Structure 1
Amino acid sequence: MHLKLNLIAAACENMGIGMNGDLPWRLKSEMAYFSRMTTMTKDPAKKNIVLMGRRTWECIPKKYRPLQGRINVVLSSQSLNLGDDAIVCKSIPHVIEMVSQYPLKDKVEKIWVIGGSSVYKASMDSPNFYRLYLTRIKKHFECDTFFPPIPNNFTLVHDAEVPTDTQEENGIEFEYQIYEKK
């Protein structure tokens, strides 16, 4: 089984993805899209993994941790004990190795990388990279965390599960884009 990494992120015009450990915007429909994409499976007996760095985990409000209906995996070089809330791994190859073995082997459908910047970068550089699902927010927000540059060999593709037209909420326009390596 070849495990593929799907990345999902939202970025504003300057490729910002966060400010002070939070999203700089409030878009309920975009959050619903994130939840649907990272939770939905074709096989009801399986779940998806949401893979994130330690800081991303810590920035999720406690009442929403772990992200429900998904297997939460946190990347960290530190020794962390997150109990039953999340599995801790040291690297992306460690995650791939863990998911390809029992007991997770038959329980996981997709791996969704949800941040932050360094985890996105490592995932795009990984031989297991498959797709980047990027919400382009057509407005400038002040940010202190940014999405890494998208490589030149990434090309736009379509997915029947993803709306192609421009969305709008609270006066903010945004669109969903999907990239694959050429």
Structure 2
Amino acid sequence: MPTNGPVECAAPKEPIKFDIMAAMCDGNRGIGYKMKLPWPSLKQDYEYYTTCVSTLRSQSRDAGNKKIIQIRGRKTWLVAGEAERNAPNVYTIIVSTTWTEKDCNSPNVLKVVQTFQAAMSEVNQLDNQNEVDSVWIMGGASIYEEALRHPQFGRLFLTHVYKDFPSDAFFPQFDDSFKEVQNHPNKGKIMEENGVKYEFKIYSK
């Protein structure tokens, strides 16, 4: 039955925020060398990394139907292990100007796109369909640089490795508007493995 009262419309959905996962040498900001990590194996860092980027956040009953989306460049995809590529609920959008989906040969690759913005358009479309649990930016350097400036940036999960190693890829500078989150559980805890000290930090704007 029609009424003369105002019609209430649902507020537009806020675009989903993404998080960035990275580790760098604290001095020279190195993140890679010859398509490998510059530093020796840091088991606890790898466990922290894989747990963060492959754990569903949603507690709803349909959480298992949602996707953890990782955005990676082609080289970052190539160096990922099989377990990482095929983790349950984890799906990847690859940013590459030279690849197509046929080059990946993986059911967990949702799309290959040419730009970071195109990857975010895919994310937003899936999120509008309520299919997204969380979004992680996995690198490399040029993707990190775009992500740090993007309006949908949420937090930066950054492992500071307190020793410099030869590197040929580097994490971009970020400005003073990034503040360390003060209440995260690992704040101030210095880890050490294989003679290398490191620390987990989280930043937001």
TM-score (norm 1): 0.88
Query: Secondary structure in 2 aligned to 1:106?
Result: coil
Deviates more, 1:72-81 or 1:140-149: 72-81
Query: Secondary structure in 2 aligned to 1:7?
Result: strand
Task: State the match for 1:7 in structure 2.
Answer: 20
User: Do structure 1's residue 149 and structure 2's residue 176 form an aligned pair?
Assistant: no
Computed over aligned residues only, the root mean square deviation of the Cα atoms, in angstroms, reads: 2.0
User: Do structure 1's residue 33 and structure 2's residue 48 form an aligned pair?
Assistant: yes
In the superposition, relative to structure 1, how do residues 79 and 23 fare at CA in structure 2: closer, same or farther (>3 Å)?
closer
Task: State the match for 2:123 in structure 1.
Answer: 99
Distance 2:162 2:74 in 1: 28
Task: State the match for 2:80 in structure 1.
Answer: 60
Distance 2:117 2:133 in 1: 17
Task: State the match for 2:149 in structure 1.
Answer: 125
**5+ residue gaps, structure 1:** none
**5+ residue gaps, structure 2:** 1-13
Q: Which amino acid aligns with 1:139?
A: K
TM-score (norm 2): 0.79
Show CA shifts across 1:49-78 (max 9, x none): 1111112112224x4462422111101223
Q: Which amino acid aligns with 2:96?
A: S
Distance 1:32 1:148 in 2: 24
Deviates more, 1:49-58 or 1:117-126: 49-58
Task: State the match for 1:23 in structure 2.
Answer: 37
In the superposition, relative to structure 1, how do residues 102 and 110 fare at CA in structure 2: closer, same or farther (>3 Å)?
closer
TM superposition shift of 1:101: 2.5
Show CA shifts across 1:102-147 (max 9, x none): 5883221111111100000000111111111100011111111100
Show CA shifts across 1:25-70 (max 9, x none): 2101101111000011222322311111112112224x44624221
Q: Would the aligned equivalents of 1:39 and 1:47 in 2 still touch at CA under 8 Å?
A: no
TM superposition shift of 1:4: 1.1
Deviates more, 1:3-12 or 1:39-48: 39-48
Distance 2:96 2:69 in 1: 16
User: Do structure 1's residue 113 and structure 2's residue 137 form an aligned pair?
Assistant: yes
Bigger CA radius of gyration: 2
